[in-house]
Amino acid sequence: MPIERSQVEFTNAPMVREMLERKNFDITTFLSVLLLLTAGFLAIYSATYAAHMNNRFGSQLLFAAGGISAMILMALLPVRWFQAIAYPLYAISLGLLVFVALKGRIVYGHRSWIAVGSFQFQPSEIAKLATIFAIGAFLNKGRDLSKLGNILIVCAMVFVPIALILKEPDPGTAVIFAGLLILLLLWAGADLFLLAAVVLPTFVAILSLFGETPTVISVLAGGAILFFIFRRNLVVTILTFGIVIAVAFSTNFIYEHLHQYQRNRVQVVLNPELDPLGAGYNVIQTRMAIGSGGLTGKGYLKGTQTQLRYVPKQWTDFIISVPAEEFGFIGAVVILLLYLFVIFRGVAIASSVRSIFSSVTAIGIAGIWFLHVTVNIGMALGLMPVIGIPLPFMSYGGSALLTNLLMAGILMNLYRNRKVLF
């Protein structure tokens, strides 16, 4: 059959032909993402099978089809376009966050959604990517992060969306933004002492909830880090250490003055068995599902905890319980290895590109995936509070899936243009 002229023109299109060459097409990221998507489809179908909620599986397929198309488009666009739209996209994302905080749709007690017909999306998902772009564009102009002023500007770029997201309220997404800020500053070469001054009080506050001994140990460890590792100006170091001590001893004071229901929530994070039928129920059931899978699992669609729906909303925040029960420890490890592979792929791309914008963008995308996987798995195992963080590419949800596929496409684009300096 003769080849149509349009087919020849498409095949010979320089951009498409270039991407399809082995050296420019990031087949590693592409296949890893497809494998994670497949694992997500299997898990969502299984999680909704017994409940006869196959409409969720169908919706996820539609979201994935649109997302994969968008991923390929992102991989083909001129890489300079991403930097060109960085500030406008950031401004638009802030506007959407303001709108959602005022008139957004309330779902599960959070005003986090904007409805467009039958489709609803979370602006905070787009805000993650927009914030990475904006910081990358800012740093691409040769800003020196050894200067406090530049660090404060980068912090402001993150704190503004955090404040709007907390207004919804969505503390889980706010935590992701805070973690992303630290990762980006570290990657961009910010002063480690300044970062330690921010991070150490946070860790000391968390450890102080476990009792007097962890409090004392964390304070001493913080002092050792400040005085013996960084060795900065003595007055500044003493003031920073004073803040660490103040945080350590004020945390327990603040905790004692919380309402009882607020203290219960904190205690459940530390020990879910304190409220097995209430706040600790999700974590207990998820851990039982994961543990019941054993080494090789019970078989697909044969998990008792998940098929009998002991795990609430197992197709969203606790979706890891499904493959862990059905395919066991081996299945869960394979999924985690895929995530590690994709994340380290992002780090490798961030290390190989020639522009600061591309490097910050790549490490930001890898950082978001790392934080989501860490927090989500930590929630499932009871190591972190349940704050509603989905598992990338696997949890049910259109906004998150589309955003993650967009980011995967951008990562593929950065790989294709890794030798471009702009």
The residue ranking higher by pLDDT, 265 or 123, is 123
pLDDT above 70 (res 21): no
Digit-coded pLDDT (tens) for 149-184: 888 899 899 999 998 988 877 888 888 998 898 899
Quick check: helix, strand or coil at residue 111?
strand
| C-alpha dist (Å) from residue 40 to 101, 113, 315, 421 | 30, 23, 9, 37
The answer to the question of residue 198 being in a domain is: no
- CB neighbour class for 148 (10 Å; exposed up to 12, middle 13-18, buried from 19): exposed
- The count of structural domains within the chain is 1
Assign 3-state DSSP to the chain and report helix, strand, coil percentages, each to 5.
Answer: 70, 5, 25
- Nearest-angstrom CA–CA distance, 330 and 411: 28
The answer to the question of residue 8 being in a domain is: yes
The answer to the question of residue 38 being in a domain is: yes
Q: What proportion of the chain, given as a percentage, has pLDDT over 70?
A: 86
The answer to the question of residue 315 being in a domain is: yes
The answer to the question of residue 137 being in a domain is: no
The residue ranking higher by pLDDT, 3 or 109, is 109
What pLDDT band is residue 341 in, cutting at 50, 70 and 90?
Answer: very high
CA 64, 169, 245 angle in degrees (round to 5)? Answer: 115
Quick check: helix, strand or coil at residue 192?
helix
Q: What is the pLDDT of residue 4?
A: 40
pLDDT above 70 (res 103): yes
Q: Quick one: DSSP state of residue 395?
A: S
Digit-coded pLDDT (tens) for 242-295: 888 888 888 777 777 666 655 666 666 666 666 666 667 777 888 888 888 888
Quick check: helix, strand or coil at residue 358?
helix
- With a CB cutoff of 8 Å and minimum separation 6, the contacts of 197 are 240, 243
Q: How many residues does the chain have?
A: 422
Predicted TM-score (pTM) of the model is: 0.84
Digit-coded pLDDT (tens) for 49-61: 877 777 888 889 9
> In terms of Cα–Cα distance, which of 345, 283, 341 is closest to 312?
283
Q: Return the minimum-mean-pLDDT range out of 13-27, 84-98, 253-267.
A: 13-27
Number of H helices, E strands in the chain: 18, 3
Pair 77, 420: CB distance under 8 Å: no
Pair 386, 317: CB distance under 8 Å: yes
- Nearest-angstrom CA–CA distance, 27 and 294: 33
Return the structure tokens found at 327. 């395919």
> In terms of Cα–Cα distance, which of 222, 284, 214 is closest to 252?
214
> In terms of Cα–Cα distance, which of 386, 210, 394 is closest to 286?
386
Pair 151, 85: CB distance under 8 Å: no
Digit-coded pLDDT (tens) for 295-329: 888 888 888 887 777 777 788 888 998 999 999 99
Tell how far CA 346 is from the center of its chain: 13
The answer to the question of residue 12 being in a domain is: yes
Tell how far CA 410 is from the center of its chain: 16
Domain hosting 64: range is 1-80+283-422
The answer to the question of residue 211 being in a domain is: no
> In terms of Cα–Cα distance, which of 244, 215, 233, 139 is closest to 181?
139
Pair 225, 200: CB distance under 8 Å: yes
The answer to the question of residue 168 being in a domain is: no
**Alpha helix stretches (DSSP H) within 167-276:** 171-187, 192-208, 212-224, 234-256, 260-270
- Nearest-angstrom CA–CA distance, 79 and 81: 5
Q: What is the pLDDT of residue 404?
A: 95
Exposure string of 220-253, with b = 16+ CB inside 10 Å and e = fewer, is eebbebbeeebebeeeebeebbeebeebbeebee
